[in-house]
Amino acid sequence: MAIKERNAEESRRRILQAAEHIFATKGLDGARVDEIAGAAQINKRMLYHYFGDKEELYTEVLRQNFQKIIEAGQEATNLQGSVLEKVTQFISNYFHFLTENDEYVRLIQWESLYHGRHTRKILPEMAQTSLPRLEALLQEGINEGIFRRDLDIRHLVISINAITIMYFSRRDIYNFLWDEDMMSEDALQDRLQHIIDFTLNGILKEGITYEKVR
């Protein structure tokens, strides 16, 4: 890679990193291009050159995060193992992504306030490559007689996302329920195990059991 290309790639990386933090903190409307450029140590004109305007930069930050989630899901579905192991890893990968990416959690809260208008620009196309893989995994479980035949992938994806991300987005509200830090290793492991148990108990065919993953 030429030096010019490496410099451009590094500049884009710094802009996206700075933008993610500022958008997560202030939202799209509260963020300022001058502030993002300053945090990235980039000339403001270069930011416009790479990303067009503030809204396109915000959309690209969302796209980058969604791509990481899709890749985590693909990693799980590509595992050599049983259907249950793949589904368990799928949930675990998403949970750990949220654990390590608090700014994404806050970005999604902002995007909800914007009625998902930026997400709608990018997620449908990205979902076309990721949802069929998950659908095929669930169908595999149905064909093996492990999963219920009436599974609806749309509701399942929404349910997994809801019981997972809510723990992180509302932890300041629910913290009074715990005698320990909700982000401690033990608390996170307990929560992940609950999500796995809850999900698998909901999709397994009646009479099918599984060995809990610890």
CATH 1.10.10.60 domain extents, the chain? 1-52
What backbone phi and psi angles, to 5 degrees, belong to 74? -65, -35
The residue that leads in pLDDT, 2 or 10, is 10
Position 115 pLDDT exceeds 90? yes
The CATH architecture that domain 1-52 belongs to is Orthogonal Bundle (1.10)
Position 3 pLDDT exceeds 60? no
Report the SS3 class of residue 145.
coil
Provide the CATH number for the domain formed by 55-203 in this structure. 1.10.357.10
Q: What is the mean pLDDT of residues 23-37?
A: 97
The sign of the torsion formed by the CA atoms of 104, 107, 109, 112 equals negative
What angle do the packed helices 54-77 and 33-40 form, to 10 degrees? 60
Q: For the chain, how many residues are written?
A: 214
Separation of alpha carbons 33 and 19, rounded Å: 9
Q: Whose CA is closest to 161, among 91, 100, 114, 87? A: 91
Q: Whose CA is closest to 168, among 202, 192, 197? A: 192
Q: Residue 100: how many CB atoms within 10 A of its CB?
A: 9
Q: What is the dihedral of CA 205, 207, 211, 214, to 10 degrees?
A: 70
Residue pair 58/118 in contact by the 8 Å Cβ criterion: yes
- Give the whole-number percent of the chain exceeding pLDDT 70: 95
Please give the model's pTM, rounded to 2 decimal places.
0.91
pLDDT tens per residue across span 80-108: 889 999 999 999 999 999 999 999 999 99
The residue type found at 172 is D
Q: Residue 212: its pLDDT value, please?
A: 45
Separation of alpha carbons 11 and 86, rounded Å: 37
Position 161 pLDDT exceeds 80? yes
* Average pLDDT value over all residues in the chain: 91
pLDDT tens per residue across span 143-153: 999 999 999 98
CATH 1.10.357.10 domain extents, the chain? 55-203
Q: Whose CA is closest to 136, among 199, 197, 73, 93? A: 73
Separation of alpha carbons 71 and 164, rounded Å: 18
